[in-house]
Amino acid sequence: MLGRFRRSGFLDELILAAGLSLLALSNLMFAALPASLSLHSSSASVWSMLFTGALAAPLICVAALLPRRVATGPSWPLAIYGGTLGLAFAWTVLLVACEDHLPAPVTSTSVGASQPHISAHPTVLRLQLLLLTLLYLLAALGFARRHRLTGDELSIWLEVACIFSAAARVNYAFHPSLYSDWV
Protein backbone atom coordinates (compact mmCIF):
# COMPACT_ATOMS: atom_id res chain seq x y z
CA MET A 1 0.00 0.00 0.00
CA LEU A 2 2.88 2.35 0.67
CA GLY A 3 4.16 1.64 -2.83
CA ARG A 4 0.74 2.47 -4.27
CA PHE A 5 0.66 5.67 -2.23
CA ARG A 6 4.14 6.68 -3.40
CA ARG A 7 3.07 6.13 -7.00
CA SER A 8 -0.40 7.73 -6.87
CA GLY A 9 -0.27 10.04 -3.85
CA PHE A 10 -3.87 9.22 -2.87
CA LEU A 11 -4.70 9.99 0.75
CA ASP A 12 -6.98 6.95 1.11
CA GLU A 13 -4.11 4.62 0.23
CA LEU A 14 -1.91 6.25 2.87
CA ILE A 15 -4.61 5.85 5.53
CA LEU A 16 -5.18 2.24 4.47
CA ALA A 17 -1.44 1.59 4.66
CA ALA A 18 -1.40 3.01 8.20
CA GLY A 19 -4.30 0.78 9.28
CA LEU A 20 -2.84 -2.36 7.73
CA SER A 21 0.61 -1.59 9.17
CA LEU A 22 -0.91 -1.17 12.61
CA LEU A 23 -2.66 -4.54 12.33
CA ALA A 24 0.53 -6.21 11.14
CA LEU A 25 2.66 -4.72 13.91
CA SER A 26 0.03 -5.56 16.51
CA ASN A 27 -0.18 -9.18 15.39
CA LEU A 28 3.60 -9.45 15.29
CA MET A 29 4.20 -7.90 18.71
CA PHE A 30 1.27 -9.31 20.67
CA ALA A 31 0.55 -12.65 18.99
CA ALA A 32 3.28 -14.01 16.71
CA LEU A 33 6.39 -13.21 18.76
CA PRO A 34 4.95 -14.35 22.11
CA ALA A 35 3.69 -17.57 20.51
CA SER A 36 6.99 -18.30 18.75
CA LEU A 37 9.02 -17.56 21.89
CA SER A 38 6.61 -19.54 24.11
CA LEU A 39 5.85 -16.49 26.22
CA HIS A 40 2.72 -16.28 28.32
CA SER A 41 0.14 -13.84 26.95
CA SER A 42 -0.63 -11.18 29.54
CA SER A 43 -3.89 -9.32 29.84
CA ALA A 44 -2.05 -6.12 28.85
CA SER A 45 -1.00 -7.70 25.56
CA VAL A 46 -4.54 -8.92 24.86
CA TRP A 47 -6.02 -5.50 25.67
CA SER A 48 -3.28 -3.83 23.59
CA MET A 49 -4.06 -6.06 20.63
CA LEU A 50 -7.75 -5.27 21.00
CA PHE A 51 -7.05 -1.53 21.20
CA THR A 52 -4.76 -1.51 18.17
CA GLY A 53 -7.40 -3.48 16.26
CA ALA A 54 -9.98 -0.90 17.34
CA LEU A 55 -7.67 1.84 16.09
CA ALA A 56 -6.90 0.11 12.79
CA ALA A 57 -10.52 -0.72 11.90
CA PRO A 58 -11.67 2.94 11.67
CA LEU A 59 -8.58 3.75 9.58
CA ILE A 60 -9.42 0.95 7.15
CA CYS A 61 -13.07 2.00 7.10
CA VAL A 62 -12.19 5.66 6.46
CA ALA A 63 -9.79 4.62 3.71
CA ALA A 64 -12.54 2.60 2.04
CA LEU A 65 -15.09 5.40 2.19
CA LEU A 66 -12.82 8.37 1.50
CA PRO A 67 -13.02 9.77 -2.03
CA ARG A 68 -9.87 9.65 -4.09
CA ARG A 69 -7.84 12.78 -3.34
CA VAL A 70 -4.17 13.43 -3.70
CA ALA A 71 -2.51 14.10 -0.36
CA THR A 72 -1.06 17.57 -0.53
CA GLY A 73 1.97 18.51 1.47
CA PRO A 74 4.95 16.42 2.49
CA SER A 75 3.83 16.07 6.12
CA TRP A 76 0.80 13.79 5.51
CA PRO A 77 2.68 10.48 5.68
CA LEU A 78 4.52 11.50 8.83
CA ALA A 79 1.37 12.84 10.51
CA ILE A 80 -0.76 9.79 9.75
CA TYR A 81 1.90 7.16 10.42
CA GLY A 82 3.46 8.94 13.36
CA GLY A 83 0.11 9.71 14.96
CA THR A 84 -1.26 6.22 14.52
CA LEU A 85 1.80 4.34 15.70
CA GLY A 86 2.52 6.87 18.46
CA LEU A 87 -1.00 6.56 19.85
CA ALA A 88 -0.83 2.77 19.75
CA PHE A 89 2.58 2.77 21.45
CA ALA A 90 1.47 5.22 24.17
CA TRP A 91 -1.66 3.18 24.86
CA THR A 92 0.34 -0.04 25.06
CA VAL A 93 2.78 1.50 27.55
CA LEU A 94 -0.16 2.71 29.63
CA LEU A 95 -1.78 -0.73 29.59
CA VAL A 96 1.46 -2.44 30.59
CA ALA A 97 1.90 0.06 33.45
CA CYS A 98 -1.67 -0.57 34.67
CA GLU A 99 -1.67 -4.32 34.02
CA ASP A 100 -2.48 -5.18 37.65
CA HIS A 101 -5.73 -3.19 37.42
CA LEU A 102 -6.95 -4.60 34.10
CA PRO A 103 -9.75 -7.15 34.09
CA ALA A 104 -9.04 -10.49 32.49
CA PRO A 105 -10.13 -10.19 28.84
CA VAL A 106 -10.87 -13.91 28.60
CA THR A 107 -11.39 -16.38 31.43
CA SER A 108 -11.40 -20.15 31.44
CA THR A 109 -13.17 -22.43 33.87
CA SER A 110 -13.33 -26.20 33.82
CA VAL A 111 -16.80 -27.59 33.19
CA GLY A 112 -15.90 -31.25 33.01
CA ALA A 113 -12.79 -33.34 33.23
CA SER A 114 -11.20 -31.89 30.11
CA GLN A 115 -13.79 -29.46 28.75
CA PRO A 116 -12.88 -25.80 29.44
CA HIS A 117 -15.55 -23.12 29.39
CA ILE A 118 -14.15 -19.92 27.92
CA SER A 119 -15.88 -16.57 28.36
CA ALA A 120 -14.83 -13.08 27.32
CA HIS A 121 -15.15 -9.85 29.25
CA PRO A 122 -18.32 -7.93 28.21
CA THR A 123 -16.26 -4.97 26.97
CA VAL A 124 -14.24 -7.28 24.74
CA LEU A 125 -17.41 -8.83 23.34
CA ARG A 126 -19.08 -5.47 22.71
CA LEU A 127 -16.03 -4.04 21.04
CA GLN A 128 -15.51 -7.11 18.87
CA LEU A 129 -19.14 -7.65 17.97
CA LEU A 130 -20.54 -4.16 17.65
CA LEU A 131 -17.77 -1.76 16.76
CA LEU A 132 -15.30 -3.85 14.81
CA THR A 133 -17.85 -5.97 12.97
CA LEU A 134 -19.79 -2.92 11.82
CA LEU A 135 -16.63 -1.05 10.80
CA TYR A 136 -15.35 -3.97 8.72
CA LEU A 137 -18.73 -4.48 7.05
CA LEU A 138 -18.90 -0.77 6.25
CA ALA A 139 -15.34 -0.95 4.87
CA ALA A 140 -16.35 -3.93 2.71
CA LEU A 141 -19.18 -1.87 1.24
CA GLY A 142 -16.78 1.00 0.61
CA PHE A 143 -14.30 -1.24 -1.18
CA ALA A 144 -17.10 -2.78 -3.26
CA ARG A 145 -18.20 0.72 -4.27
CA ARG A 146 -14.63 1.68 -5.12
CA HIS A 147 -14.24 -1.42 -7.28
CA ARG A 148 -17.46 -0.57 -9.12
CA LEU A 149 -16.35 3.04 -9.71
CA THR A 150 -12.67 2.56 -10.51
CA GLY A 151 -12.31 -1.08 -11.49
CA ASP A 152 -9.41 -1.37 -9.03
CA GLU A 153 -8.70 -5.09 -8.64
CA LEU A 154 -7.20 -4.68 -5.17
CA SER A 155 -10.45 -3.20 -3.87
CA ILE A 156 -12.33 -6.44 -4.44
CA TRP A 157 -9.67 -8.36 -2.49
CA LEU A 158 -9.83 -5.84 0.33
CA GLU A 159 -13.62 -6.21 0.34
CA VAL A 160 -13.29 -9.98 0.78
CA ALA A 161 -10.70 -9.48 3.54
CA CYS A 162 -13.02 -7.09 5.39
CA ILE A 163 -15.90 -9.56 5.13
CA PHE A 164 -13.68 -12.30 6.58
CA SER A 165 -12.54 -9.97 9.34
CA ALA A 166 -16.14 -9.11 10.25
CA ALA A 167 -17.02 -12.83 10.26
CA ALA A 168 -14.03 -13.52 12.52
CA ARG A 169 -15.31 -10.90 14.99
CA VAL A 170 -18.75 -12.52 15.06
CA ASN A 171 -17.12 -15.93 15.51
CA TYR A 172 -15.08 -14.55 18.42
CA ALA A 173 -18.27 -13.36 20.12
CA PHE A 174 -19.60 -16.92 20.08
CA HIS A 175 -16.28 -18.70 20.69
CA PRO A 176 -13.76 -16.43 22.44
CA SER A 177 -10.26 -17.86 22.44
CA LEU A 178 -7.91 -17.96 25.37
CA TYR A 179 -5.09 -19.93 23.80
CA SER A 180 -4.18 -20.06 20.15
CA ASP A 181 -3.96 -23.86 20.12
CA TRP A 182 -7.57 -24.32 21.27
CA VAL A 183 -9.97 -24.41 18.36
Q: Do residues 23 and 53 make contact, with C-beta atoms less than 8 angstroms apart?
A: yes
Task: Give backbone dihedrals phi and psi of 70, rounded to 5 degrees, phi first.
Answer: -75, 130
Q: Going by C-beta distance under 8 Å and a sequence separation of 6 or more, which residues neighbour residue 76?
A: 11, 14
Higher pLDDT, 44 or 12: 12
Average pLDDT rounded to a whole number, residues 22-28: 85
pLDDT at 135: 92
C-alpha 65: how far from chain center:
17
pLDDT digits (tens, 9 = 90+) for 43-61: 777 777 788 888 889 999 9
pLDDT at 179: 46
Q: In whole angstroms, what is the distance from residue 26 CA to residue 46 CA?
A: 10
Most confident of 28-42, 44-58, 70-84, 166-180: 44-58
Which range, of 19-33, 97-111, 137-151, 169-183, averages the lowest pLDDT?
169-183
Predicted TM-score (pTM) of the model is 0.76
Q: Do residues 55 and 15 make contact, with C-beta atoms less than 8 angstroms apart?
A: no
Q: Do residues 106 and 123 make contact, with C-beta atoms less than 8 angstroms apart?
A: no
pLDDT at 158: 95
Mean of all residue pLDDT scores within the chain: 79
Average pLDDT rounded to a whole number, residues 145-150: 93
pLDDT at 109: 65
Average pLDDT rounded to a whole number, residues 69-75: 75
Average pLDDT rounded to a whole number, residues 73-87: 75
